[in-house]
Structure 1
Amino acid sequence: MNWRFENFELDEAKFELRSAGLPLAAEPQVLSLLIHLVRHRDRLVTKDEINETIWHGRFVSDSALASRVKTLRRLLGDDGRQQRLIRTVHGRGFRFIGDIAENSPAPAPARVKVDEHPAAAIEAPVNKPSIAVLPFRLVGIGGPYAGIAEALPDELIAELSRLRWLFVIARGSSFRFRSASADLRDVGARLGVRYCLSGTAEISGTRMMLAVELADTRDCGVVWSERYDARLDDVHSVRETILSSIVAALELQIPLNEAQRARLVPPENLDAWAAYHLGLDHVFRFNAKDNAIAGALFEQAIAKERGFVRAIAGLSFTHFQNAFAGHTPDFSEQAAAARRLADEAVALDGRDPFANLVMGRAHWLASDLEGSFGWLERATQLSPNYAQGFYAWSWAEALAGIADAGQEHSDLARSLSPLDPLFYGMLGTRALAHMSRGEFEEGAVWAERSARSPGAYKMNHAIAVAAHELTGNHERAAAWADHLRNTSPEFTGADFFRSFPFTDKPAKERMAAALARHGI
C-alpha cells in the first residue's frame, strides 16, 4: 500500500518514506511507527498498542517512545507544538491527522498456482542468492505458544527482506510447504530458490527448544544449523535475540557458501554474483595478495553487470584496505579511489548498507571520524543485524574517545557474528575502548586476545605492545614489539596513526609514548 500526504509518499511494500520522490533516511522503528499510525488513522493508537507492534511487547520506557515520536515529527517537519500531522492525546496515545491519498499497488499478473506447474511458479533473479523460509514444525502441545512456529518464520521473512543482496520469497508462497517431509529439491524447483530455512519449535514443560537449519536446495547439503533454548515465560523477550542471531548468521553463511561453490567454476565462467561473493571471501582475509585478487573479482563482477552496487562497494573496500593496511605505498591515491567508488555506490543505491559502510570508511581515511559516524550509523539502521557495520562504527567511536558506545557496538558485532573473519579486529576495538577510559589492565587482556586470534596482523600487534606497556608489563610489551619487527620490519608509529586517526588526544599521546618506548 502507498499513502500520499503533503509532499510525502509512504511506501509500505518498499518500507520507505519519500519526499518529493527522494528516499528519506529513517530508523526502522520510526518508519514502522509511521506506517502503523497511518494505517490506523481513523482512530487513536494507544501506547500499549505501539509497544506491542513496534517492540513486540518488550518493555520500553515512555522516554523511548517519546524519542521515536519526536524523531518521526522531525522527519515530517512537524513538532509537538504544531502537531500538524501527529496529534498527541496525553496519557493515552497518538493519532495521525494528515489528509491521506491512498494508492493500492496494481494487481500482479495472474500466476499459475505453485502446486500446478512447479518450475514456472516463481521466478527469482537468475544469479542473485535467494531463500525461502518455511513455517517451522511444532513438536508437542504448544497451547498458547503454538503460534510461535509460524510467527518466528514470518518475522524472519520481514527481517531478511531488508538484506539488499538476498531475494526472499514471500510468506504466501513459502508457507505452502507445511509438511514435515517437504523435499528440499522440490522446494527449490517450485520456488526457484537456492536456499531453504526450516526448523522445529519443541514445547516441553516450561521450555521451548528451537532448532533451525539452512540448506542449499541444489544439493540438499546443510550449510548452517543452530539450536536455541528459552523459557516459555521469557520467549517473547528473547525473540528479538533469536531473530538477530539467525539473520546475522545467514548474512555470513550464505556468502561463504556462495564463495565455496564459485571456486568450482572456471574463473572466466563466473557470473557477476559468483565473482562478487568470491571477492568477499578474499577481501576479508586482509592481506595484500588476497586483496588484489578480490579487487580483480569485483572488477570482473562490475564488467559483467554494470551498476552492480555491491561489487562497486567491494572495490571501494579493497582501496580502503590498501591504504589502511599499507599494502601499497600510495596512501592518498588509494584513499581517493576508495572515496570515489563509495560516492558511486551511494549514488546508485543509498539504501545499501555496504555502500554506506564504505562511505563511512572513506571518511575515516580522510581523518574525518565525525563525518564517518552518520554513514556507519545509517548502515546499521538499514540492516540492524549488520555485524560489519557495528564493527566499523565501534572503531570510529573508540578512536574518537566515545568509549562506552564503542565497547557496546564491539560487543554487539561479536555477538552477531561470532565466527566473523575480522573477529580479531572486534576484540581489538574492545581493547581500545578500555584503554580510552584508562582501564589498562582490561585493555591488555582484550589486546592479547586480539593479537593471538587467527588473522590478526601488525595493527593488532601494535595495540598489544601499547596495552601491555601501559600496564607496566614491559616484558610482554617487548615480546610483542619483537614479533612486530620480525613480521613487519618497516612498520612505524606514523603508519599506525595514519591508519588510526585518533581524535581522542590523551589516548593518542599515551599510545604514541608506549609505542615509542619500544622503538615503534
Structure 2
Amino acid sequence: MAADVVGSCRLIGIDEEGTLSQLKALRRTIFDPKIAEHHGRIVKNTGDGALVEFASVVDAVRCADEIQHSMAKQNTDVSQDKRIEFRIGIHVGDIVIADDDIFGDGVNIAVRLEGIAEPGGICISDDAHRQVRGKVQSTLEDMGSQSLKNIAEPMRAWRARIGPGSSPAIRTPTEVAQPLALPDKPSIAVLPFENMSGDPEQEYFADGMVEDIITGLSRSKSLFVIARHSTFTYKGKAVDIKQVGRELGVRYVLEGSVRKAGNRVRITGQLVDAATGNHIWADRYDSTLEDIFDLQDRVTSSVIGAISPQLERAEIERAQRKPTESLRAYDYYLRALASIYKFTREAHVEALKLTEITIGIDPEFAGAYALGARCCIQRKAFGWSTDAAQERIEARRFARQAIELDQDDPSLLAIAGHALAYVANEVEEGAALLSRAINLDANLVTARYWSGWANLWLGNDDAAIEQFKIALRLSPLDPLIFNAQTGLAFAYFSAGRIEDASSWATTALRQQPKFVGAHLAMMACHAMSGRVEEAREVCARAMQLDPTLRISGFTYRRRPADIEKWAKACRIAGMPE
C-alpha cells in the first residue's frame, strides 16, 4: 500500500509549520494505529506519505478504507483549501526485501496506482481486486485499462470509493484539489505533442520539438512558462485541459502533434484557455526537415502573439536561433537528450557517446557541449563516477566550450554554471553564470534549482531556500522535484532547522529513493539529532549507491562553519575521511 498527501507542496507553501504538525498528529492518531490494527508493517514513512506491507490484500484494502473514512470525518469542518487528504494505491505482487526496505514491480505499481487515485480515494490493481471481491465493504468501480508511468503494459484498475453515508466531507468524483494561484503575468504549459508518425522510434523527435518550443517561449520575460519536466508527466494520457490548468496553475495550455514522414514534417498546435476550455488559436505547419528550426520559431511566435500581442518583437526574435546547421547533428542531439532522461547508468553512457558523435559532426554546436556537461552532472549526482579527477577536467571542458560558443543562451549558461560549481568545484564562477541565466530567462527551472545549490555552497541559506521554492512553483509536477526538495533539506540543515531539513529529506527520498544527495541530507539530520544508529544506516545506503563518497570530497562548500558542521555529521555517521 502506497499513501501520499494530495498537494503537500501547496499546503506546506501556505503554512509549513502547521501542515507538518498536522501530518505528525494524523500519523499518530489515525494512520499508524490503523496500520497496526490490520497487521501492516510500515516499511518507510515519508514527510507526506508512507509505504506499507501487508500479508493479506484484504487487510490492506480494509485498512485503507478505514483510514479514508477517518480522514473524511476529520475534514468535516476544515475549509477546502486547508484539508489534508490522502491518495492510496494498493497492489498485490512479488517484492524484493533488502535492508528493511522493499523494492520491485509490486512496489512500483502500488506507487503508480496511488498517483491516479482520487483525493480521498483508493485505487487498486486488477490482481488485488480478484482477491478482495466479495470480502470487503468498499464499493469497487472499474476504471478500465490504465497506462501507468514507467510500467510497460497498461493495467486494469479499480476505484474504491468511500460509502456515501459516511461523511459530507467526502468529495465527489468531480471535485478537485485547490488550484494553484495564477502568476501575475500570462502563464502557459506546453503538453507533450502526440507522435503521429506511426513509428515509436520517432518519439524522441516529437519530444525534442516540444522541448525546443518550451525553451523558446520561456525566453520571453513577459510569460510564466511551466518547465518541461512537469508537463511531460501528462505524456501518453488523455487529459482534461481545465484540470491541467488547475494542477499546474496556468491560464493557457498548448497541445499538438508531430508527424514526420521522409523529409517532411507537419506540426499542428492548439492554444486553449484552461479556465474556459475555449480555443484561442489553432494552426498547422508543414515544412521540410531542412527548415525544422524555422518551423519551431513559427509555432513559438504564433503562440506568443496569440497570448500577448503587446509583447515586444525583440523578445520573440531572441528566441529564434538555430542551434546547429547540421540536421544530422541535431538528430543525434535529440537521441542523446532522450537517453539522459532515462536516468540509468547505461542510458547515461549512451547519452555521452551520442553527445560525442554530435560534436564530431558539428564542433560548433554549443548545445551539444552543454549536453555533455549535463552528462557529467548526472554522473556525479547519481554516484556513477569512476575517476573524479578526470571527470572534473571533462566537465570543465564541456562547460567552457559551451559558453565560448554561445554566451547568451540561458539554458547553456545554467548547465555550464552548475557543471563548474558542482563537478569542477569552481563555485563562484558557476554561481555568476547561473545568475546571468536567470536574468535572461526567469522561467528556467534548472537555473533556479542549480542557483539554489550554488547559493547553499556559498553560505547564502535564505537565497538558496528562495530559489528552491521558486523552482517548486515553476515545475510543481516535476519528476526531478527531489532535486529542489533535497536542496531545501540541506539549506534548512545549514540554517540549523533540523526538523524542517529532515522532513524535506524524507519527501525527497519518497520521490527518488536512489538519489545520493537525499540520503546524505537524511544522514546529516539523524547525526545531528543524536540518532547515531539511524545515521550510520543511511550512510551505509548512500555508500552503496556511491562507494566513492568521502568527507574530503565535499570541498565546494565555502563557509568554514558549514564545512565543520558537515564533517562532524559525516564522522558521526561513519563516512570515511
TM-score by length of 1: 0.50
Q: Which has the higher contact order (CA 8 A, sep 6+)?
A: 2
